[in-house]
């Protein structure tokens, strides 16, 4: 940090004030914990004011460990692992563990000025970490870092200006942080309108000659009855108290499944597919995690041999099949097995539904199952405590609101158009959020170049502060040595 503004001076962090770190009482000794003494760990540091704590120690816990008292108005710095560089300002006396360094600054240094400088330099502090999976930064490394000391009155002006500017960015950030939740609410509102029929009301008014879904379903059932092996399809177990538009109807997954074998099914049971069957190549397996994220990449994919896949033929999925999770909190995540992907085998806790092309389409079904009208039905048939699941029999008798095919296509088109618009807004909000973070860093950069606030030649120069700080440190060390001799 060279080229300092007039009146500033460089010093080391070691000279800023009293340094130290804490310790951890023996975890197996319960009498060391649960007292009235606040104890702060590195994970508790909020990168701001410390206004609360989770764990407390007893006097015995302090006496039998390296935990130390830290005054209010001190800066805490995390030195270990994933939290390295995290900061906090104590607002009341606390103790800390060994992963936290504390700095009780001299009266010539504003605690917020020190904190903001360390916050600005957090990327540098993280980079100073040493070690592999759990890097750490020692007090000695921290103390050796340069610190730009400004006149005390200028320190306070800088802090006030940072507060003013970052207060505005904080409000903007808070608004932007609400957008992901709003995005989900807007999408659910669109789905609700779609499956009430409101989203395509104008379309129906212009297309009143469309064949009702009941007529199409009757034709499909008539054909099915001519099959050599007649399979009785189950109707919805119960119908929601919800008025559907004319030409729509309530059909079950069982009724809208394709006429091909195993068009509606679940993954293999227990010993039919075990971990020892997994291979690094062959026929792909589809897991619940793949359905939840809607991505069927190859990074963590597992496979089975062709011979094993042949054994598991009833559980085969092909492009265009709708996949549903039958376990989770709650179950019912959906995805479409992508076009162009080779056939795969679903695993336990997945349901596959191959739609009948004369009754429905995969995209419509995927959105439909995500809507509240189906979610509530899934919730009602979900059982289990540790693992919540729906049964295939329960799923096959859900009531799905099914419009004519032509209207399904229109609904899908309007949902996807609306979702693209919402996703663009969310992407813009994410970009704006990153810009605000960059703006905060720019403000801090200007602050510690002396460019954020005007300088006042009447301010006591930092060189005088540093002389006073060093004199105070020398006096404290002399007094400490005197106490040791007396002891």
Is 421 inside any structural domain? Answer: no
Q: Verify that 75 and 215 share a domain, yes or no.
A: no
* CA 237/CA 398 separation, integer angstroms: 6
Domain boundary among 357, 379, 403: 403
Give the helix ranges, DSSP H, for 371-404. 372-381, 392-396
Q: Verify that 117 and 219 share a domain, yes or no.
A: no
Q: Verify that 257 and 395 share a domain, yes or no.
A: yes
Q: Verify that 242 and 389 share a domain, yes or no.
A: yes
Cα-to-chain-centroid distance, residue 35: 34
Is 54 inside any structural domain? Answer: yes
DSSP helix/strand/coil, 128: coil
Q: How many other CB atoms are there within 10 angstroms of residue 305's CB atom?
A: 13
Is 127 inside any structural domain? Answer: yes
Domain boundary among 335, 368, 403: 403
Domain boundary among 403, 421, 450: 403
Is 429 inside any structural domain? Answer: no
* CA 471/CA 468 separation, integer angstroms: 5
Q: Verify that 381 and 472 share a domain, yes or no.
A: no
Is 423 inside any structural domain? Answer: no
Pairing of strands 350-353, 322-325: antiparallel
Q: Verify that 244 and 375 share a domain, yes or no.
A: yes
Is 267 inside any structural domain? Answer: yes
For every one of its 487 residues, what pLDDT tens digit does the chain have, with 9 covering 90 and above?
A: 457 999 999 999 999 999 999 999 999 999 999 999 999 999 999 999 999 999 999 999 999 999 999 999 999 999 988 899 999 999 999 999 999 999 999 999 999 999 999 999 999 988 888 776 678 899 999 999 999 999 999 999 999 999 999 888 888 888 888 888 899 999 999 999 999 999 999 999 999 899 999 999 999 999 998 876 777 899 999 999 989 999 999 999 999 999 999 999 999 988 899 999 999 999 999 999 999 999 888 788 999 999 999 999 999 999 999 999 998 878 899 999 999 999 999 999 999 999 999 999 999 999 999 999 999 999 999 988 777 899 999 999 999 999 999 999 999 999 999 999 999 999 998 899 889 888 989 999 999 999 999 999 999 999 999 999 999 888 877 777 766 666 5
Q: Verify that 54 and 138 share a domain, yes or no.
A: yes
Q: Verify that 353 and 227 share a domain, yes or no.
A: yes
Q: Give per-residue pLDDT as tens, 133-177.
A: 678 899 999 999 999 999 999 999 999 999 999 888 888 888 888
Is 60 inside any structural domain? Answer: yes
Pairing of strands 87-90, 75-78: antiparallel
Cα-to-chain-centroid distance, residue 335: 21
Q: Which domain holds residue 475?
A: 9-151+460-486
Q: Verify that 362 and 464 share a domain, yes or no.
A: no
Q: Give per-residue pLDDT as tens, 345-354.
A: 999 999 999 9
Q: Verify that 465 and 324 share a domain, yes or no.
A: no
Strand-pairing partners, residue 148, are 10
> For the domain that residue 340 is a member of, what is the CATH number?
3.90.220.20
With tokens 């003494």, the residue in question is 37
* CA 158/CA 446 separation, integer angstroms: 10
Q: Verify that 257 and 115 share a domain, yes or no.
A: no
Is 438 inside any structural domain? Answer: no
Domain count, the chain: 2
Q: Verify that 87 and 232 share a domain, yes or no.
A: no
Strand-pairing partners, residue 250, are 401
């Amino acid at each position: 940090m060279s080229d300092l503004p007039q009146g500033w001076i460089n010093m080391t962090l070691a000279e800023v004030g009293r340094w130290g770190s804490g310790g951890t009482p023996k975890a197996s000794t319960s009498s060391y914990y649960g007292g009235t003494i606040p104890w702060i760990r590195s994970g508790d540091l909020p990168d701001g004011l410390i206004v609360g704590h989770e764990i407390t120690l007893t006097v015995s816990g302090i006496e039998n460990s390296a935990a130390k008292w830290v005054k209010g108005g001190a800066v805490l710095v995390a030195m270990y692992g994933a939290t390295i560089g995290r900061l906090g300002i104590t607002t009341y006396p606390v103790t800390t563990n060994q992963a936290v360094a504390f700095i009780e600054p001299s009266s010539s240094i504003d605690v917020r000025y020190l904190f903001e400088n360390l916050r600005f330099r957090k990327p540098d502090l993280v980079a100073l970490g040493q070690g592999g999976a759990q890097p750490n930064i020692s007090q000695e490394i921290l103390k050796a870092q340069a610190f730009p000391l400004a006149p005390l009155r200028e320190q306070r002006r800088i802090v006030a200006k940072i507060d003013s500017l970052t207060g505005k960015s904080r409000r903007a950030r808070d608004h932007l942080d609400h957008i992901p939740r709003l995005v989900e609410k807007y999408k659910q509102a669109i789905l609700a309108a779609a499956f009430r029929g409101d989203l395509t009301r104008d379309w129906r008014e212009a297309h009143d000659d469309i064949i009702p879904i009941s007529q199409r379903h009757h034709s499909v059932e008539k054909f099915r009855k001519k099959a050599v092996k007649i399979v009785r399809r189950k109707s919805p177990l119960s119908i929601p108290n919800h008025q559907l538009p004319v030409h729509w109807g309530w059909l079950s997954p069982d009724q809208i499944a394709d006429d091909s074998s195993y068009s509606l099914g679940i993954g293999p049971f227990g010993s039919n597919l075990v971990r020892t069957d997994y291979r690094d190549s062959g026929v792909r397996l589809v897991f619940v995690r793949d359905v939840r994220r809607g991505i069927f990449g190859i990074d963590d994919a597992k496979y089975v041999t062709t011979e094993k896949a042949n054994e598991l033929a009833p559980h085969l999925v092909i492009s265009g099949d709708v996949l549903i999770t039958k376990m989770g909190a709650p179950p019912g995540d959906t995805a479409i097995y992508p076009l162009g992907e080779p056939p795969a085998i679903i695993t336990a806790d997945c349901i596959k539904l191959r739609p009948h092309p004369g009754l429905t389409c995969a995209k419509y079904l995927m959105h439909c199952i995500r809507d509240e009208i189906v979610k509530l039905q899934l919730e009602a048939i979900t059982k289990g405590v540790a693992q919540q699941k729906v049964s295939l029999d329960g799923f096959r008798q859900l009531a799905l609101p099914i419009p004519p095919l032509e209207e399904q296509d229109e609904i899908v088109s309007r949902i996807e158009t609306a979702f693209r618009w919402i996703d663009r807004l969310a992407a813009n909000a994410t970009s704006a959020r990153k810009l605000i973070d960059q703006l905060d860093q720019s403000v801090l950069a200007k602050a510690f170049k002396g460019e954020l606030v005007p300088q006042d030649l009447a301010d006591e120069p930092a060189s005088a502060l540093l002389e006073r700080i060093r004199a105070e440190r020398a006096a404290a060390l002399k007094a400490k040595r005197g106490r040791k001799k007396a002891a």
